[in-house]
A and B are shown apart, each in its own frame.
Chain A
């Protein structure tokens, strides 16, 4: 008799966190193949786990790269800034200053390390928990805060939920708010790059939950068929709002393993290991830039906090389960590595924290002078009729006139 399998979260509220399901590999244990390895020979990479930092904060194995300490300190700084920014914005939401927010706590390395391994002109198609990409590319906090405030300097002109940033000058695509749609768009961008004989990469991120969308399948199909210069990142933070990664298909095999079936080289990486994310991204970038083709990377990490400010994870998972996560915490791991290398110290770190906190506060104080949804100067609502089309068509010009008249 057939039975319907219902994937079950390993622990619910009131229970002890249980991460025994998580399969890892020892740091340094997974081989680093040549960048032109056939996709069909990457099955082991898709099922094991690329790790560089071991439990003693040493960098070990074939994926260890010789990264300048200066770059590592930059990565650490961006991760710390991202976390402080997130915390500040969550408080701003609680105080009613912004309507919504999404933190990236616990998964900062996925964006910061990847961003560091790419060229500045590579085109990024992020999801909504990749804010570190903006900061890494030099976007000032005030710009991001202005967007969250929908104020007079909001890059989206008041049209988008908080965190739906875009930055053309920084080569970061617009966040839709619809899940997974950016994944095949990134592949198309990469196809156009190859058609035009240029050599920039498209890089995109998706959550493990939304790999269930057809767009994920489209992206892998087109990327595999055309060997597009694209890096397809799955951020497996174990949770899609309240549903555990098993609901998205993570029980039977890894998310990375899907890529091999599409003829795409695939890696599964410790997403809380800054050095591993960097090395995997660098490997994939070199592979794409040399014309071999796309790479799928699953970053195994943990969503430390709520899905968004509208979510309450205490209703579906054990409190503070993040503390039990077997892959640790990305900032602490990189910090300890740098300290062990004598390239950083607890004192340096404490000083930097104070500096970054002051930066966040000063940025916020500047941003709110440009207004918010509830206070201060207001953006001109007449702009809501703009950018629907390149030019305002007659019917919208008429509606704008009607709007002016009726509001008095």
Chain B
């Protein structure tokens, strides 16, 4: 076992896979010689060569398109989009090509690639370095969508994604890269040392795609969340002094409906929390699913906590970011329904 930050865990996953499988290649802006702007690929080009860890031109659409072609020709590309906010030029290649290639060719052609996308706010990135566009991707059939909340899951899920023959969109909450974050920017930054999920095997292991995890068992209510908000919700539950069950989805699509159903049937109350904007956000799908699956167990209307439906404002980041105060308010609202 080793202690790793989320960045180091991702680096380790790619290191392990580059060593195990000659078909694995990494590509993206600044990922090669420099090792990535977040250092996730640090040292990998030096170790595996410039033919396997490629510095790409600044062209997200070109990165994804060429990675699709590479995947069709037997490679297993891991393409990095430097910020989620920059993925849109590649959207057509992901939605119309990558996601549908297997379907349209009746299974003859596919590209087993992983798209790594740092996402989320809390880093003073303003509206072009803070977005959480996961629901734009969960709406697309033919791709899987993953977002880990800690180093252990990040490494295991990334290895699983690379080994998966379906395309995986792998969102990385960048506020968690170097330590857990409970939503309070006034507290000193913490790191992953000493956190139970910061301890993980150095070698190969996987966390299965499609399985949510109950990170806190409880009986009063269920909180469904993922990414950075897992940590915010843990702080909020402490502050609210309730016995909440917290589910970290880990995979958004395909969704682990069974884990949601089992929990909400037990607690009868559900708060959904995500950083992304609310309207048509992934929380809407979660809310609809839980209502359909658990209607007769529900004792109160499902609550959603999400980013306001505005672009991400630089100077008002902490008014915008759905921190634990807002989660506590939702908990109070749902617990007040008799």
- On A, residues with C-beta under 8 Å from B are 123, 125, 155-157, 159-160, 164, 166, 168, 173-174, 176-178, 181, 183-193, 195-196, 202, 214-215, 217-219, 221-222, 225, 386-390, 393-395
Contacts and interface: CB of A to CB of B under 8 A. Distances in A.
B104 A192 contact: no
11 contacts: A166-B108, A174-B109, A186-B69, A188-B72, A189-B72, A192-B74, A214-B61, A215-B61, A222-B66, A388-B142, A389-B142
Interface stretch (B31-39, B95-103, B301-309): B95-103
A230 B59 CA distance: 19
Contacts of B65: 181, 183-185, 187-188, 215, 218-219
Most B CB contacts (10 A, CB to CB) among A193, A202, A389 go to A389
A188 B70 contact: yes
A187 B110 contact: no
Interface in B86-128: 89, 92-93, 96-97, 101-110
Contact of B66 (A160, A188, A394): A188
The 8 closest A-B pairs by CB, nearest first: A188-B69, A188-B66, A218-B62, A184-B65, A189-B69, A192-B73, A174-B105, A185-B69
Contact of B89 (A178, A214, A225): A214
Contacts of A181: 65, 92-93, 96-97
Contact of B73 (A123, A159, A221): A123
Contact of A394 (B51, B59, B103, B254): B254
B147 interface: no
B105 A166 contact: yes
B69 A192 contact: yes
A287 B16 CA distance: 37
Contacts of A123: 73
Interface of B: 25, 51-52, 56-57, 59, 61-62, 65-75, 89, 92-93, 96-97, 101-110, 141-142, 144, 165-166, 210, 254-255, 257
A187 B25 CA distance: 16
B255 A395 contact: yes
Given A187-B66, A188-B69, A164 B104 contact: yes
A218 B101 CA distance: 20
A221 B67 CA distance: 14
Contacts of B57: 221-222, 225
Most B CB contacts (10 A, CB to CB) among A202, A215, A386, A387 go to A387
B254 to A, nearest CB: 4
B75 A178 contact: no
Contacts of B106: 155-157, 159, 166, 387
A185 B109 contact: no
A218 B110 CA distance: 21
Contacts of A202: 69
B25 A188 contact: no
A188 B89 CA distance: 17
Most B CB contacts (10 A, CB to CB) among A176, A188, A215, A218 go to A188
A57 to B, nearest CB: 40
Contacts of A173: 72, 109
B210 A393 contact: yes
Contacts of A386: 107
Nearest to B164: A390
Contacts of B109: 166, 168, 173-174
Contact of B69 (A155, A190, A395): A190
Contacts of B97: 176, 178, 181, 185
Contacts of B69: 125, 184-192, 202
A389 B141 CA distance: 8
Most A CB contacts (10 A, CB to CB) among B92, B103, B166, B210 go to B103
Contact of B107 (A215, A219, A387): A387
A370 B74 CA distance: 34
Contact of A388 (B71, B73, B75, B141): B141
Given A156-B104, A185-B69, A390 B74 contact: no
B166 A389 contact: yes
Given A160-B104, A166-B105, 13 more contacts: A156-B105, A176-B104, A184-B62, A189-B69, A189-B72, A192-B73, A196-B73, A218-B59, A222-B57, A387-B103, A387-B106, A388-B141, A389-B166
A197 to B, nearest CB: 9
A191 B70 contact: yes
Contact of A168 (B71, B108, B210, B255): B108
B198 to A, nearest CB: 31
A176 B254 contact: no
B182 to A, nearest CB: 33
A303 B110 CA distance: 32
Most A CB contacts (10 A, CB to CB) among B59, B92, B106, B254 go to B106
